Chain A
Amino acid sequence: MKFKAFFTQDGMNLLDKRFLPALEKMGRICQVYLTPNHVMFLHGLYPEGGDGLQCVAQFGRDLLFRDYRISSQSDNQIAFAADVSLLHRALRSALTIHMQSQTDPNAAIQIKLVKKLPVGAQAPSPYLTFETKGLHAAVVQDVPISKPLSRADLLQLQSVLDSAQELPQTLVQVPDLSQLQSLVDRLKNVGDLLTVSITQYGDLHLQVSTSLVSVGSEFRKLRVLGVHVDPPAGHANLSASTRTQMAVQRGEALSVQLSMKHLVKSLQCHLAKPDCTFYGIAPQGACLTVIFQYFVPGTRVADKSISFYCRLPVLDQGSD
């Protein structure tokens, strides 16, 4: 089992400034999944289930790395668990040294999988090593990782990933993620459970209800991807709750109940500064899918080399 590669400049910046800060908020440990063509950071999938929230950040290998070499007996795939904050700390530290030697054309940060014998240990342990060669010094940092997944576990992980690929029929683009986060931060004082409804007209409705109070927010006429229908006449004069209930009854909306804690956590993904964000409810109300989209820099064209999404588990099917 071998893996080594050099970070690209974009790769370093993307991980350091955007994705690792967001992934740190998802949980302490993430699964790093390397394939011949992709690099993935996974949270809450296989083998650890976490608290139910799943988060997947997938990159085309050439976006993050150059001279990417991987080989293993599991179809040249490797997956292991690592502490996200340690990964981030090692990368930041490597970047600091790298910045000091930018005049050197050969300066680069190499990452590789190694086995080393820790002091006082009987058996070697796996590490992800960051090697930075500056003008005056070379710095090596070893981040401890878990034992890489077996072939059977890798197959299982891939099948969990494949099952998470099903897209909602209707996705709505949320207007402003930081505004939504500010709203949800205040809604979380009201209750722990949240009902999210998404209509095919392009409406997103969030509601928190307790025995004493019901607080909600509705965003209408959002951009829709997928199944889109026009709202019925006279819809505009109704209250947000009534409108949503009617849409659910007509089969033109789905409604699910989520843990407020999960939504708050998923909103931390705004640290990865996506260009736009879509919310959708998976078929049969299986989960709330949040898809973050990135544009090719300087354009409005979706960057296919980055795929970043969260799946929030549903507590109860609110549409019944």
Chain B
Amino acid sequence: MSASTGGGDDDDSPDLVCQLDCVQGMVDALSSVRWKRNQDAVIELSVHGIVLIVEESGCLQAKVYLKRELFISYDYGAEGRPRFGLSLGLLVDCLNIFSAPGNASVIEIQYPGPDMQLLLKSVGSPDSCLYAEIRTRIPDTISWDYHFEQAANTPLTFTVKSAILKEAIDDLDWPGSSIQIMMQPEPPVVTFRGEGHGDLQIEFPYYANTDLLIAFQCDRHISCRYKYKFLRATTSNFPSSVLKENRSSKVTIGRGGMLKIQHLVSVAKAVALNQYTDAQPSRIAYIEFFVKPEEDEIHS
């Protein structure tokens, strides 16, 4: 069963036909929100680009924003914002087939196909063609469509190197289930604290090492707890490009303790990576994670 909730599909023209010249970048971006093998995703199409949303247990949501500028062509024919569900694992596996060495050609993505499928095909070579038809379904209602709001006038936020954030979260695996994130203005420091099988505290002091926290904004003390497994999902599947390019991640604690973590993933061809990293911010996919706090306590 499949469906499009968007309008404008009375004629035969598809809602979207777009072409991408860096499949590996798209695979990297989508893989970074694939924290388990079988995961359902919802894709939302718009004139601005493609958004992929995955959720778990009403507590963790991740979004991948693929802006239209990432594509070498982007023909959007729908009215409204068509949405459809599919298996994230299948989509990544299929895209991976296109990113095989020696298959560096441009791929075309079309939705919907004759039977509401998502169609992928390689273009450019008249004598060989690779294609995939992925069945879509009516998307589940997003049970927890949270609109992130800042906790106060001054956002509670810090920016840290993605690799350091990942390392810290990986280390917190040892104490286990529940992780407390604290921010305080005096002295300015971010603390991750895990209590479980043992205690582990990791501090990021703002002034002590300027390479550690790139930015820090906090006007009051705040402390929230998050389930480790959700926190881990936010960094566990970083593509290697994020670490190689020394990218940064922005962490914000919003109203009600909602945690927002933003990463940037390069969607540029490998040969042009350095050129694009700085000069062409449009070749970046934005990844956002929202983690709901554990309910017991929010201290501010």
Do A and B belong to a common assembly?
Answer: yes
Determine if A186 is an interface residue (Cβ-Cβ < 8 Å).
yes
Q: Assess the B131–A182 pair: CB atoms within 8 A.
A: no
Q: Assess the A213–B97 pair: CB atoms within 8 A.
A: no
**Taking CB as reference atom, which chain B residue is nearest A180?**
B102
Interface string of B92-104 (1 = CB under 8 A from A): 0110110011110
CB pairs A–B below 8 angstroms (15 shown): A179-B100, A186-B97, A187-B97, A190-B94, A211-B135, A212-B135, A213-B90, A213-B94, A213-B135, A215-B131, A218-B130, A218-B131, A220-B129, A221-B127, A239-B131
Q: Chain B residues near A214: list those with CB within 8 A.
A: 132-133
Distance in Å: Cβ of A184 to nearest Cβ of chain B: 10
CA distance A186 to B101 in the complex (A): 11
Interface string of A209-238 (1 = CB under 8 A from B): 001111111111100000000000000100
Counting chain B CB atoms within 10 Å of each CB, which of A175, A212, A214, A236 scores highest? Answer: A212
Determine if A183 is an interface residue (Cβ-Cβ < 8 Å).
yes
The 8 Å CB contact of B127, one of A176, A187, A215, A220, is A220
Q: Chain B residues near A239: list those with CB within 8 A.
A: 131
Q: Assess the B128–A219 pair: CB atoms within 8 A.
A: yes
Q: Chain A residues near B131: list those with CB within 8 A.
A: 215-218, 239-240
Counting chain A CB atoms within 10 Å of each CB, which of B87, B93, B129 scores highest? Answer: B129
User: Given A213-B90, A213-B133, does the pair A175, B128 have CB atoms closer than 8 Å?
Assistant: yes
Q: Assess the B132–A213 pair: CB atoms within 8 A.
A: yes
Determine if A189 is an interface residue (Cβ-Cβ < 8 Å).
yes
Residues of A within 8 A of B (CB): 175-176, 179, 182-183, 186-187, 189-190, 211-221, 236, 239-240
Q: Assess the B130–A217 pair: CB atoms within 8 A.
A: yes
Q: Chain A residues near B100: list those with CB within 8 A.
A: 179, 182-183, 186
Q: Assess the A215–B132 pair: CB atoms within 8 A.
A: yes
Determine if B126 is an interface residue (Cβ-Cβ < 8 Å).
yes
Q: Chain A residues near B93: list those with CB within 8 A.
A: 186, 189-190
Q: Assess the A218–B129 pair: CB atoms within 8 A.
A: yes
Determine if B134 is an interface residue (Cβ-Cβ < 8 Å).
yes
Distance in Å: Cβ of A217 to nearest Cβ of chain B: 5
Knowing that A186-B93, A240-B131 are A-B contacts, what are 20 other residue pairs whose CB atoms are under 8 Å apart, sorted by A's residue number? Answer: A176-B102, A179-B100, A179-B102, A182-B100, A190-B93, A190-B97, A211-B135, A212-B90, A213-B94, A213-B132, A213-B133, A215-B94, A215-B132, A215-B133, A216-B130, A216-B132, A218-B130, A220-B126, A220-B128, A221-B127
**Taking CB as reference atom, which chain B residue is nearest A239?**
B131
Size range of the interface on B? Answer: 20 to 34
Q: Chain B residues near A176: list those with CB within 8 A.
A: 102
Counting chain B CB atoms within 10 Å of each CB, which of A214, A215, A216, A239 scores highest? Answer: A215
User: Given A182-B100, A183-B103, does the pair A217, B129 have CB atoms closer than 8 Å?
Assistant: yes
Q: Assess the B96–A186 pair: CB atoms within 8 A.
A: yes
Q: Chain B residues near A219: list those with CB within 8 A.
A: 127-128
CA distance A179 to B90 in the complex (A): 22
Main secondary structure of the interface of A (DSSP, over half): mixed
**Taking CB as reference atom, which chain A residue is nearest B99?**
A186
Distance in Å: Cβ of B113 to nearest Cβ of chain A: 10
Q: Chain B residues near A218: list those with CB within 8 A.
A: 128-131
CA distance A213 to B95 in the complex (A): 12
Residues of B within 8 A of A (CB): 87, 90, 93-94, 96-97, 100-103, 126-135
CA distance A211 to B90 in the complex (A): 12
CA distance A198 to B294 in the complex (A): 58
Q: Chain A residues near B87: list those with CB within 8 A.
A: 212
**Taking CB as reference atom, which chain B residue is nearest A187?**
B97
Q: Assess the A217–B135 pair: CB atoms within 8 A.
A: no
User: Given A179-B102, A182-B100, A182-B102, does the pair A217, B94 have CB atoms closer than 8 Å?
Assistant: no
**Taking CB as reference atom, which chain A residue is nearest B98?**
A186
Distance in Å: Cβ of B53 to nearest Cβ of chain A: 19
Distance in Å: Cβ of A237 to nearest Cβ of chain B: 12
Distance in Å: Cβ of A253 to nearest Cβ of chain B: 16
CA distance A179 to B101 in the complex (A): 8
CA distance A179 to B127 in the complex (A): 15
CA distance A213 to B14 in the complex (A): 19
Q: Assess the B129–A240 pair: CB atoms within 8 A.
A: yes
**Taking CB as reference atom, which chain A residue is nearest B87?**
A212
**Taking CB as reference atom, which chain A residue is nearest B134?**
A213
Q: Chain A residues near B96: list those with CB within 8 A.
A: 186, 189
CA distance A217 to B130 in the complex (A): 4
Q: Chain A residues near B130: list those with CB within 8 A.
A: 183, 215-218
CA distance A179 to B97 in the complex (A): 12
**Taking CB as reference atom, which chain A residue is nearest B137?**
A212
**Taking CB as reference atom, which chain A residue is nearest B130?**
A217
Q: Chain B residues near A186: list those with CB within 8 A.
A: 93, 96-97, 100
Distance in Å: Cβ of A130 to nearest Cβ of chain B: 39
**Taking CB as reference atom, which chain B residue is nearest A212?**
B135
Q: Chain A residues near B94: list those with CB within 8 A.
A: 190, 213, 215
CA distance A213 to B132 in the complex (A): 7
User: Given A189-B93, A213-B90, A215-B94, does the pair A182, B132 have CB atoms closer than 8 Å?
Assistant: no
Q: Chain B residues near A187: list those with CB within 8 A.
A: 97
Distance in Å: Cβ of B212 to nearest Cβ of chain A: 39
**Taking CB as reference atom, which chain B residue is nearest A176?**
B102
**Taking CB as reference atom, which chain A residue is nearest B133?**
A214
**Taking CB as reference atom, which chain B residue is nearest A202?**
B127
CA distance A208 to B90 in the complex (A): 13
CA distance A216 to B127 in the complex (A): 14
